[in-house]
Structure formats: C-alpha cells, structure tokens
Amino acid sequence: MALKRIGTQTVKLSNPPSMVSTASIVGPKEGDGPLKDYYDVILEDDLWGEESFEKAEAKIQEEAIKLAIQNADLSPNQIEYLFSGDLLNQITSSGYAARQLEIPYFGLYGACSTMTESLSLGAMIIDGGFADKVVCATSSHFSSAERQFRFPLEYGAQRPFSSQWTVTGAGAVVLSSTGNGPYITYVTTGRIQDYGITDANNMGAAMVPAAIDTITRHFKDTGYNPEDYDLIITGDLASIGKNVLLDLMRKEGYDLSNNYTDCGVEIFDNVRQDTHAGASGCGCAAVVLSAYIYEEMLKGNLNRVLLVATGALHSPISVLQNESIPGIAHGITIDNMIF
Amino acid sequence: MEKMSNKEYQKYIEERIPKPTYAKNMIFAFIVGGSICVFGQIIGNILSRYGLDKEKVASGTSILLVLTGAFLTGIGVYDKIGKVGGAGAAIPITGFANSLVSPAMEFKREGFIFGVASKMFNIAGPVLVYGVGSSVVVGILYIVLAGGG
C-alpha cells in the first residue's frame, strides 16, 4: 500500500528531505545576465582550460557537485547516491563527472527536465529511508549542445526568433534527511505530452502542454491553488512558452499571472544579450534553483515554490525523421516550513 | 488541455510565433550579398588589369573569394556577417567556404579523418550532391534537345 501517494501523480513526502546546500557554476554569458549576483562561480572562459567543450562541461558539473558537497561541510564519501544528467549523447558529461567522485551513481536523461527528475528521485530515496545524503545535479553547455543539435559555432546561420540559447552551467543540490530546510515536500511526476510540434527551434511550444498537465495535476492532487505558492516557475519554456502557458492555464481555470515565471526568461536579458526567446538546457533550471531560488528561500523572500522543469525529448535523428517532440515536466514543491 | 486537439494547438502556436522580419532581412541580404559581389568585382578588375584573360580572371576571383570567406570564418567574423546578411552571406561563394571551414574547425577534436575530413561536408554536402546532379541533368537535356550544339 503506497501510503505517501496522493491523487494520481503526486507523492507527499512524510519525512521531507532538506536542501542543505547548493552550488552553481555558469559561463561568462550567464554571468553577465540578470541573475549574476546569485551564482557561486562565473567562468571567464567557457572552455575552462580544457581542450574540448565536452570536457569543459564535465568539469563544470564535477566542480559544481564538489562545491555543493563542500558547502554542506561534507566530503564525497559521505554521499550515498548521485543523481545527475545532461544533454549530450549517452549523458557523457555526467558519467565523466561521476568517474572522479566515486559516489554510487544514477545517470538520468530527462533533457531539460532532468534537474527536477533528479530531485524527485533523490527526495523519494531519502524519504523512503534508503539514504541520508544524496546529491542531485545537471549540466549543459552552449557549445557542446550546439555542435550536437545544431550547426558549427562559426557557421553563419540566422537563428529564428523562437529559438533558445542553451545555458552553459551546472547546478548541484545536496539533499539530507536532517537539516533545517528548505524542504522538498511534494513530488509530482509528469506524463509525456505530445501535441505534434516538430520544430526543434520551438521547444518551448513543444513543452508547454507537459508543464500544464503537471501543474494542473499537482493542484488537483494536493488541493493547492496558485495563491498558495510564492512562486511557480517552469524550467525553460522561454518567452513564447511562458505566455502560452499563462493563457492556456487561464483556460484551465487557473490564474498564474501574479506569481509565475520561467527560468528560461530569467537567466538572460534577451534583448541586450541577443538570446531570442530565452534560455534552455539542463543547466537552466539547475542554476536558477541552485542560485536564485535557494538564496531567496534562505532569505525568507520566498517560502513556498513550485519548480516544474520541462524537457523536450527529441534527438537530432528524430527531428530529421520528422517525428514530433515529446514534452515532459516534473514538479517539486520546495517549502521553508514543514507542517 | 483535453479540450484542445493537436491541430488546434499547432494552429494556436503558429499564431504566436514572431514572424521573421522579412523586409529587414531582404534589405540586409541585398546589402551584404551586394557588397560581397562588389568586392568580387573589384578583385576581378584588378586581376584583368594584370593582363589575365577572362577565364583566368573568373577562376582567380573565385579562388580569392573562397580564401576570404575561409579566412573570415577562421578568425570568427563570418558567422557575424551571416547573422546580419542571411542568404546574402550564404549564397555567394564566400558562404560556401564558410559552410566547409566551420565544420572542419568545429570537429577538429574528433581527429583529422573522422572529424575534419568526414564532417567537413556536413552542411555543403547537399549543395554539392544536388549542384553536380542537376548540372548533369541539364547537360543531358542540352545534348538531347539542342543536339549538343
């Protein structure tokens, strides 16, 4: 009998794990954006002394994980599980990062939803009594993602207005069975939603239905309303997706206009930094959570947050074969208080 | 979202995507593409002043334009020209050089055989295949219809 399940897709954690520390490392462009004062480390060079962008991404993720563990006054051998993922084929950044850390490792792929996927699983593992300390992390890198999904960096192509800019950065969170919060109290696991969008330059639109499904399901399962949250924030729907979500949520009977935003809208100044619709990538929700949301929760400016990271589960091959883009969104509630 | 069908959603999204700024794009394409052609014409005039015949001027101009496109790609300028100029930067032969050099640079880490050499034609490959292919078709039609005249 699954005692902790409420509704159809949500788990209410009875021993909510505490987010005892976080770390965020971002590239120079992110470090020039509106959230620059929140990040732990801003790199001057996105290669970070490595010989390839893939190696640089693995290093960024590894260092973010190490920094989060260090911020919690722990050492890697005290961590029982590592949940991490990234965008590259066979999630190599995560595998190479985990190679150095020697922590039992679960590699995850949920595209840009991976941060809440990892936190969902990490929180449930701790709540279930299978571990006391876990790390959840994701990374992405603009230049490694461009060469896998799009064009060479020096190719003179024009980007459509709906395209998004992959975040260079990694975020890591240490979850613990003990601690003073913020706590992960609810986990709402998303279902794939696919409304037939095939344009990989319009990922926001492909992911909106998944975000709507998960958010409305979360409200129905928990009995919460939008007003119960200080902030409802999706992963990387970016500017077009954000407005579409607001409009369609209103049609579902929920008004999110007072407390909703999207991580992909917050990272860059789209006009000044020329990032078109906004940010995307596994690192997007990860660094916004690890830097901005976490710090504002510690300060008490935010007390209850619904983070819904969103993923577009396509590949360069599926796009060439004209397959539509399946969207996914996983939600977690982060609370400063537990009741 | 149960009330919305796939078609309705796609139509709804279509209406909300910002349209490309066609007029601005065309003007910039004209200016950038035109400037590249003027530059080519200048090269051609200089070469003919040195006494090269028409055929040698044509190939010499192409060679120098490809060199320029490759050089500007190498120093990280051509992608910026392409961003402004769009098709105006992609269609001239300098754009062809950019489409060859940029993947060659990008995939150097994967080695000179499976990286540089095999990825070099990632973007330009279709142009070559269909360019050569269609010229063969036109050639055959020319022989058949015009009797090879």
Cβ–Cβ below 8 Å for B107 and A202: no
| A161 interaction partners in chain B (CB closer than 8 Å) | 17-18, 20
Q: Is residue A35 domain-shared with residue A145, that is, in the same domain?
A: yes
Confidence of residue B148 (pLDDT cuts 50, 70, 90): low
Domain of residue A218 covers 183-335
pLDDT of B149 = 55
In the structure, what pLDDT confidence band is assigned to residue B1 with cuts at 50, 70 and 90?
confident
| Distance in angstroms (rounded) separating the CA atoms of residues A12 and A127 | 10
Residues A189 and A171 in one domain: no
pLDDT value, residue A102: 94
Measured between alpha carbons, how far is A306 from A309 in angstroms, rounded to an integer?
Answer: 10
Identify the weakest region by mean pLDDT among A77-86, B24-33, B137-146: B137-146
Specify if A2 maps to a domain: no
| Domain limits for position B53 | 6-106
Q: Which chain B residues touch A152 with a CB distance below 8 Å?
A: 102-103, 105-107, 122-123
A76 and A198 assigned to the same domain: no
How far is residue A108's CA from residue B134's CA, in Å, rounded to a whole number? 47
Work out the minimum CA distance from B57 to partner chain A, whole angstroms: 27
Residues A208 and A119 in one domain: no
Q: Does residue A219 sit in the same domain as residue A288?
A: yes
Same domain, A26 and A54: yes
Q: What is the DSSP letter of A3?
A: T
Q: What local confidence, expressed as pLDDT, does residue A208 receive?
A: 97
pLDDT by residue (tens digit) across B54-105?
999 999 999 999 999 999 999 999 999 999 999 999 999 999 999 999 999 9
Does residue B46 sit within a domain? yes
Q: What is the CATH number of the domain that holds A46?
A: 3.40.47.40
Chain A residues within an 8 Å CB radius of B12: 244
Number of C-beta neighbours around residue A106 at 10 A: 17
Interval B36-49: pLDDT, tens: 999 999 999 999 99
Can you give the pLDDT at residue B147?
Answer: 74
Which residues of chain B are at the A interface, by a Cβ-Cβ cutoff of 8 Å?
Answer: 1, 3-4, 6-7, 9-10, 12-13, 16-18, 20, 25, 73-74, 76, 78-83, 85-86, 89-90, 95, 98-99, 101-103, 105-107, 109, 122-123
Report the DSSP beta bridge partners of residue A308.
Answer: A234, A331
Q: How many CB atoms lie within 10 A of CB A291?
A: 25
pLDDT score recorded for residue B11: 95
Q: Is B10 contained in some domain?
A: yes
Are the beta carbons of B106 and A154 separated by less than 8 Å? yes
Q: How many domains does chain A have?
A: 2
| Cα gap A136→A130, rounded to integer Å | 15
pLDDT of residue A2: 86
Residues of chain B contacting residue A160, judged by C-beta atoms under 8 Å apart: 20
Q: Which residues pair with A140 in a beta bridge?
A: A169
Domain closes at, from A153, A176, A199: A176
CA nearest neighbour of A134 among A184, A89, A100: A184
Residue A160 inside a domain? The answer is: yes
Angle, CA of A303, A305 and A306, to the nearest 5°: 160
Q: Looking at the structure, do residues A239 and A171 belong to the same domain, yes or no?
A: no
Cβ contact A192:A110 at 8 Å: no
| Shared-domain flag, residues A200 and A87 | no
Residue whose C-alpha is closest to residue A93's, from A78, A70, A80, A109 = A109
- Chains A, B: CB contacts within 8 A come to 94
Question: What does the alpha-carbon distance between residue A43 and residue A63 come to, in Å, rounded to a whole number?
Answer: 12
CB contact under 8 A, B90 and A156: yes
Is residue B13 within 8 A of residue A202, CB to CB? The reply is yes
Domains held by chain B: number: 1
Per-residue confidence in pLDDT tens, chain A, 339 aa:
788 999 999 999 999 999 999 999 999 999 999 999 999 999 999 999 999 999 999 999 999 999 999 999 999 999 999 999 999 999 999 999 999 999 999 999 999 999 999 999 999 999 999 999 999 999 999 999 999 999 999 999 899 999 999 999 999 999 999 999 899 999 999 999 999 999 999 999 999 999 999 999 999 999 999 999 999 999 999 999 999 999 999 999 999 999 999 999 999 999 999 999 999 999 999 999 999 999 999 999 999 999 999 999 999 999 999 999 999 999 999 999 987
pLDDT for B77 equals 96
Q: Cis ω on the peptide bond leading into residue A182 (within 30° of 0)? A: yes
Q: Which residues of A touch B70 (CB under 8 A)?
A: none
| Domain-embedded: residue A3 | no
Nearest-Cα residue of chain A relative to residue B77: A154
Q: What is the mean pLDDT of chain B?
A: 93
Last residue of a domain, one of A176, A194, A212: A176
Flag whether pLDDT at B30 surpasses 90: yes
pLDDT tens-digit readout, B58-68: 999 999 999 99
The pLDDT value given to residue B83: 94
Give a yes or no: residue A287 inside a domain: yes
Q: Are residues A80 and A150 in the same domain?
A: yes
Distance of CA B74 to the CA centre of its chain: 16
